[in-house]
Amino acid sequence: MGASETAGKAAAVAHRVLLVSDRDADAELIRALLESTNADPAFHFDHTHTLSQAFENLERSEVDVLLVDAGEGEGRELAEASQARVRAPLVPVVLLVDTDDEVLALRAVEVGVRGYLLKSAISPGALTWSLHHAIRNQRMFVELNIARERARQLASYDELTGLANRMLFHDRLEQAVAAVRRNRDRLAVLFFDLDNFKQINDSLGHLAGDALLRLVGQRIGSCLRKSDTGARLGGDEFAILLTHLDDEEDAEKLAAKVLDRLHEPLSSDADSPAISASIGIALFPRDANDTEDLLRQSDAAMYQAKAAGRDRVARWKPEPGGPRAAMHSALDRRLREALEGGELVLHYQPVVDVSRGRIVGAEALLRWRHPKHGLVLPGEFLPIAENTQLILSIGGWVLRSACAQAARWQALGHPGFRIAVNVSPQQFQPEDFVRQVRATLVETGLRPDCLELELTERSLLHDGERTLAQFAMLRGLGVRIAIDDFGTGYSALAYLKRLPVDTLKIDQSFVRALATDPADATITATIVQMAHALNLTTIAEGVETVEQMQLLGSFGSSRMQGYLFGPAVEPDVLTRQFEEPPFWWLRDAH
Ligand code: C2E
Ligand code: MG
Ligand code: MG
């Protein structure tokens, strides 16, 4: 290690190059090459043996470009390059390889590497060009991002308060509603109208009115989490979009908190006007069918708050016996009949291990075979069941049927076959859930380690200690636990270390963007690395293309499910697929 100034005569500030290579001979070669150039600006060369030393170095001093020696390839070094992109996203990485490899080169592009140099063909010119090019490119990229961010800021934010404007709020709301439909989550809209703003504005003047609005914006902003969106919709109307709503009460708690903050005196001056607001809350999907409906209900709730005397919070309530309440209870009744009448069925989506080219398990997915509407997907009816006790009966039935079916497949000669069963957060709450799982295993004769319970990150947020105890008991039975849709919720990485889980299911949203968005590729590669470091299995969901499959395979995640291998099908169809996997091509493609 050590630094040396090369071509010190240059006037411009030298570019600092940090080489990560465990081979001293190669380091000497690069040093000599850099010394032999007359590039302006010159290069300041430094060398470390490992990436972690390089990170230490990066913390101490600025580095303009990282030159990473990929050695023999093997993909491990590419992982290092992507790790560098995560730890030091502003420092461009140039890869140095021993042998020319097209696949490696392409993957390098995907993880965001900015240059690729073949050692045997390296020359002072090629080296200088690559390093300067990487640095310039990176700077342009950063500047472009800053400019883009500024433009976005102007178009999407309210100038007075800095909160989102109406347009951005609508955009975010639409995206959030779509995500809720996908993940069967819930969200809330809080709609604010300041009380008496007009009088304040009229009596104190527009400037004072603006200052007041700015202050309200600040106070609202100070109550929000990063994932929430605060907006000024216009005039004295504000709104908050609250996503990943774990508990319905949380929306009301936040509204009360904002109201408290608004009440704080404006100044020590006793005559200063008091601020208050009327706040209406509506939830999706509970109170509304879509975005427009949701905004309408939150607005209506705000009027209820005003009518009840202002300076208060109102939750949207259906008119007693109104159309929505009636629809909910009718659906609930129909669903109960469906469960009792055998209209609910399970379909099974194969989980494959691409490194072995085999089906290794399946996920049980619920369907409603509706006599009139045909096959109805769970997103359409499970949220209704989850609002009542019905989910407990449905969940119990799913668990028993899926375990019985898995035991049947095992008996047909697939002894290690593993069945994944989705569990709703509500199911996880009652004390006897563990007992129910144990009884089901005894009844069906399924080996506990062949059952994997899938929980979403949402379920983990409830009552931390009790959840941990439940997990420990389930693990005590030998049952496996997976985190479903990993990456879409809070996913505190530190939390993972504490949780006794076995598997992370990488959410479709990451897989979908894998081949097109380097950031997603990097996140996914990092999730896989982290999971493996914690001794967890990963299963990638929603794999639809060969390209996605190959990328995931290269990250070391070989278990996958998705339309590429097949959708969820009736049990008999899956039985036939065991004999004749429809993805026979897999061994060759991989
Ligand atoms: P999930 O557990 O994440 O299940 C994966 C969903 O992705 C399934 O949707 C599946 O059909 C779909 N999928 C699979 N491969 C692909 C692909 O390549 N591309 C795309 N675009 N989609 C793919 P489905 O069956 O509509 O289920 C939705 C969600 O409903 C499930 O998400 C799960 O959270 C829940 N769910 C399903 N069955 C049950 C159940 O028995 N109990 C509980 N509590 N929840 C269930
Ligand atoms: Mg699942
Ligand atoms: Mg999932």
- The CATH homologous superfamily of the domain defined by 342-589: EAL domain (3.20.20.450)
pLDDT for the residue 320: 65
Whose tokens are 């073949």? That residue is 118
Can you tell me the distance from the alpha carbon of 379 to that of 495, in angstroms, rounded to the nearest whole number?
Answer: 28
Check pLDDT > 80 for residue 75.
no
Q: Which residues contact 589 (CB under 8 A, 6 or more apart)?
A: 546, 549, 550
Decide whether any atom of ligand 1 lies within 6 Å of the 379 Cβ.
Answer: yes
**Ligand 1 atom nearest to 386, measured from its CA:** 44
In the structure, what pLDDT confidence band is assigned to residue 376 with cuts at 50, 70 and 90? confident
Decide whether any atom of ligand 1 lies within 6 Å of the 391 Cβ.
Answer: no
Q: 157 or 331: which carries more pLDDT confidence?
A: 157
CA of 512 to the centre of ligand 3 (A): 13
- The residue contributing the CA closest to ligand 1 atom 17 is 542
φ and ψ of 151, to 5 deg: -65, -40
Letter string b/e over residues 269-300, b meaning 16 or more CB atoms within 10 A of that residue's CB? eeeebebbbbbbbbbbbbbbeebebbbbbbbb
In the structure, what pLDDT confidence band is assigned to residue 326 with cuts at 50, 70 and 90? low
Q: 307 or 368: which carries more pLDDT confidence?
A: 368
Render pLDDT for 444-462 as a digit per residue (tens, 0 to 9). Answer: 999 999 999 998 876 766 5
Residue type, 167: M
Q: Which residues contact 37 (CB under 8 A, 6 or more apart)?
A: 6, 7, 43, 124, 125, 127, 128
Over range 206-227, report the average pLDDT.
92
Can you tell me the distance from the alpha carbon of 129 to that of 34, in angstroms, rounded to the nearest whole number?
Answer: 11
Q: 256 or 182: which carries more pLDDT confidence?
A: 256
In the structure, what pLDDT confidence band is assigned to residue 5 with cuts at 50, 70 and 90? very low
In DSSP terms, 97 is beta-bridged to 118
CA of 205 to the centre of ligand 3 (A): 54
Degrees to nearest 5, angle at CA 36 with 105 and 117: 0
Mean pLDDT of the chain: 86
Can you tell me the distance from the alpha carbon of 252 to that of 412, in angstroms, rounded to the nearest whole number?
Answer: 54
Question: Virtual CA dihedral for 119, 123, 129, 134, nearest 10 degrees?
Answer: 20
In the chain, ranges of CATH 3.20.20.450 domains: 342-589
**Cα–Cα distance list, 221 to 152, 228, 257, 557 (Å):** 19, 9, 12, 40
- The CATH homologous superfamily of the domain defined by 166-316: Reverse transcriptase/Diguanylate cyclase domain (3.30.70.270)
In the structure, what pLDDT confidence band is assigned to residue 2 with cuts at 50, 70 and 90? very low
In the chain, ranges of CATH 3.40.50.2300 domains: 3-154
What percent of the chain lies above the pLDDT cut of 70? Answer: 89
For residue 285, whether the previous peptide bond is cis, meaning omega lies within 30 degrees of 0, is: yes
For residue 318, whether the previous peptide bond is cis, meaning omega lies within 30 degrees of 0, is: no
Q: Which of 394, 459, 541 has the most ligand 1 atoms within 8 A of CB, as the residue to mutate?
A: 541
Can you tell me the distance from the alpha carbon of 555 to that of 527, in angstroms, rounded to the nearest whole number?
Answer: 10
Decide whether any atom of ligand 1 lies within 6 Å of the 484 Cβ.
Answer: yes
Over range 502-527, report the average pLDDT.
86
pLDDT for the residue 11: 55
Can you tell me the distance from the alpha carbon of 401 to that of 153, in angstroms, rounded to the nearest whole number?
Answer: 52
Render pLDDT for 387-444 as a digit per residue (tens, 0 to 9). Answer: 788 999 999 999 999 999 999 999 999 999 999 999 998 888 777 899 999 999 999 9
**Ligand 1 atom nearest to 365, measured from its CA:** 38
Question: Is 271 in a helix, a strand, or coil?
Answer: coil
Can you tell me the distance from the alpha carbon of 561 to that of 360, in angstroms, rounded to the nearest whole number?
Answer: 10
pLDDT for the residue 3: 43
pTM value is: 0.58
Render pLDDT for 95-154 as a digit per residue (tens, 0 to 9). Answer: 998 888 888 888 888 778 889 999 888 998 999 999 999 999 888 888 877 777 777 667
Q: Give me the residues near ligand 2 (ion), CB cutoff below 5 Å.
A: 422, 454, 484
Render pLDDT for 487-503 as a digit per residue (tens, 0 to 9). Answer: 766 555 656 777 788 99
Render pLDDT for 190-213 as a digit per residue (tens, 0 to 9). Answer: 999 999 888 888 888 888 889 999
Check pLDDT > 70 for residue 472.
yes
In the chain, ranges of CATH 3.30.70.270 domains: 166-316
What topology does CATH give the domain 3-154?
Rossmann fold (3.40.50)
Q: In terms of C-beta density within 10 A (0-12 exposed, 13-18 middle, 19 or more buried), how is residue 448 classed?
A: middle
CA of 474 to the centre of ligand 3 (A): 21
Render pLDDT for 278-288 as a digit per residue (tens, 0 to 9). Answer: 999 999 998 88
Check pLDDT > 80 for residue 8.
no
CA of 541 to the centre of ligand 2 (A): 9
Q: In terms of C-beta density within 10 A (0-12 exposed, 13-18 middle, 19 or more buried), how is residue 193 classed?
A: buried
Asked whether the CA dihedral 453, 455, 459, 461 is positive or negative, the reply is positive
What percent of the chain lies above the pLDDT cut of 90? Answer: 42
Q: 85 or 253: which carries more pLDDT confidence?
A: 253
Over range 464-486, report the average pLDDT.
86
